[in-house]
Structure 1
């Protein structure tokens, strides 16, 4: 399940993920991102990943496919989680993201306000 965070505005999309994301939910998020891209050209995304968050294989595949096809429209990506594994994965991915012009950064849950300031700047 996901929730669009109320601080989302303009070219910034904030999403909180809790529970498992289905393919239908992933399609809804993709549609929202595409609306913002149409309106603003480039977007930034803040994703808060809860303790019990997960994703179906189909939803993960759809997400990867969309990101690969739309990298040029992504400005910044902030991943907020206390997971050490996800923090390490973001650190690795950030190197590759930088090569295509995307700034990506991990923040702990206690740094949510810092993450918002970074994503909005």
Structure 2
């Protein structure tokens, strides 16, 4: 499941994902992002990932396809999670993201305020 964070504003979308994310929920999220793209062209996304997160194969595939086709509209992506594995993955992925003009950062849950400041700047 997911919820849109109340601090979302303008070209910034904040989302908290926990539990199991199904394809229909992934499609709702990408539709919301596309609405922001239509109004702002480039958007930034802050994603807070819960500890017990799981994602269906269909939702993961849909997310990857969406990212590949919309990366030209992404300015910044902040991933907020306490996983050291995820932190390492974001560090590697951020190198590739930079090639296409996307800034990507990982923050721990204790650093969420710093993540918001970065994504909003």
For normalisation by structure 2, the TM-score amounts to: 0.99
In 1, Cα distance between equivalents of 2:79 and 2:99? 18
RMSD: 0.4
SS at match of 1:76: strand
The corresponding residue for 1:116 is 116
Deviation string for 1:17-43 (max 9, x for gaps)?
Answer: 110100000000000000000000100
Report the Cα offset of residue 97 of structure 1.
0.2
Structure 1 spans left out of the alignment, 5+ residues: none
Deviation at 1:13, TM superposition (A): 0.2
Residue 72 of structure 1: SS of its match in structure 2? Answer: helix
Map 1:57-68 → 2, pairs under 5 A: 57-68=57-68
* Deviation beyond 2 Å, 4+ runs, structure 1: none
Match of 1:11 in 2: 11
Q: Structure 2: where are the runs of 5+ without partners?
A: none
User: Normalising by the residue count of structure 1, what TM-score does the alignment of the two structures yield?
Assistant: 0.99
Q: How many residues are paired up?
A: 121
